[in-house]
Structure formats: C-alpha cells, structure tokens
Amino acid sequence: MKHAMSFNAMSSGVPYSTNGSAPRCGHVDGLTPVTPLSPGCKACEKQGDGWTALRICLTCGWVACSDDSPHRHAREHYQETDHPLAGAMDPDSSWRWCYVHERKV
C-alpha cells in the first residue's frame, strides 16, 4: 500500500524549466534579428577610451561595451532604455544575456 504516493511531485504542472530552478526568460520571445548600429562602442569612442568586448542590444541594435569593460555602456543602455537583452557581436556566439534575469538565456 505505501508505494502509491511516491511519484506525484513530478506531475504538478508548475511552469518552470526542466532543470527545476529559475522561471524561463520570456524576453527572448518574439525577438527579431537586429543590425548593429555601429562597429564599436560610440560612447567609448567619444571619450577616446577602449573596451574589452562588445555587446549588441537585441531590441534596437545599439552597440556598447560589455561588463568586463571599464565603462559598461551596454548595462547603461539597459538602464536608460529597459531593453532587456544583449548578445555578443561575434556572429559565431549564440548566447544572449538578459539583464532582467541576470543570466544567459
């Protein structure tokens, strides 16, 4: 009689991802391809500074420097515009960063 209650937890229908923890990021839904608006971080170029890596805003195509860079203009762009997603400029990289969820999506 006792074994009948064992397997109910798996079928509760909770809309979480299969790895169990974080809710999935809905920001990636409905994304359309964007074209980079510039070849580098315009804000850094204005100041005569450099960057470590570039990010492209996946909402509007704005190009800015990454969190590894001294000025973190990509994060600044998110704070000004609420555009939640950034990707790498490298076309071989398919990861995307969600600033709202603070993780790769």
C-alpha 55/C-alpha 74 separation (Å) is 6
Only one of the segments 1-9, 12-20, 31-39, 97-105 lies at the binding site for Zn ion (rule: CB under 5 A); that segment is 97-105
Which residue shows structure tokens 């798996």?
Answer: 10
90 DSSP 8-state letter? S
| Encoded amino acid at 6, one letter | S
The binder of Zn ion chosen from 44, 54, 63, 86 (CB under 5 A) = 44
Strand pairing class (85-88; 63-65): unpaired
User: Which span sits near Zn ion by CB under 5 A: 5-13, 31-39, 68-76, 86-94?
Assistant: 68-76
Q: Under the criterion CB under 5 A, does residue 53 sit at the interface with Zn ion?
A: no
Copy the structure tokens of residue 96.
Answer: 């995307």
Residues making contact with Zn ion (CB under 5 A): 25, 27, 41, 43-44, 57, 59-60, 62, 65, 71, 73, 81, 83, 98, 100-101
